[in-house]
A and B are shown apart, each in its own frame.
Chain A
Amino acid sequence: MSNKVFMCPPDYFGIDYVINPWMNLEKQADNSLAVTQWNNLRNILENQVGAEVITIKPRQGVPDMVFTANASLIHKNTALISRFKCVERQPEEEYFAEWFKNNGYKVEFLPKNIAFEGAGDALFSGDTLYSGYIPRTDITSHALISELFGIKVISLELSDKRFYHLDTCFCPLEDGYLMYFPQAFDEYANKVIEQNFPEEKRITVTEEEAFYFSCNAVNIGKSVVMNKTTERLKNALKEKGFIPYETDLNEFMKAGGSAKCLTLKL
Chain B
Amino acid sequence: MSLKRSIEVKGHIIDSLTLTKIMDIILDMGGECNVEKIRIGKEKAELSYAKLNITTETDDILNQILEKVIKQGANVL
Contacts and interface: CB of A to CB of B under 8 A. Distances in A.
Contact of B11 (A134, A142, A151, A156): A142
A152 interface: yes
B15 A154 contact: yes
B12 A154 contact: yes
Contact of A147 (B15, B17, B20, B47): B47
Q: Tell me whether chain A's interface is mostly helix, strand or loop, or mixed.
A: mixed
Interface in A137-170: 138-140, 142-143, 146-147, 150-157
B46 to A, nearest CB: 9
B47 A155 contact: no
Contact of A143 (B10, B71, B72): B10
How extensive is the interface on chain B, given as a class?
10 to 19
B16 A154 contact: yes
Contacts of B16: 142, 154-156, 188, 192
A143 B74 CA distance: 12
B21 A152 contact: no
Contacts of B73: 138-140, 142-143, 155
Contacts of B15: 152, 154, 192
B45 interface: yes
Contacts of A150: 45
B37 interface: no
Contacts, number: 50
B39 interface: no
A139 B17 contact: no
Contacts of A157: 21
Interface residues of A, number: 20
Contacts of A155: 11-12, 16, 18, 73
Chain B CB within 10 Å, residue with most, of A134, A139, A147, A154:
A139
A151 B46 CA distance: 8
A146 B72 contact: no
A217 B15 CA distance: 26
A152 B71 CA distance: 20
Contact of A146 (B20, B21, B47): B47
B12 A188 contact: no
Interface in A41-65: none
Interface of B: 10-12, 15-18, 20-21, 44-45, 47, 71-73
Interface of A: 134, 138-140, 142-143, 146-147, 150-157, 188-189, 191-192
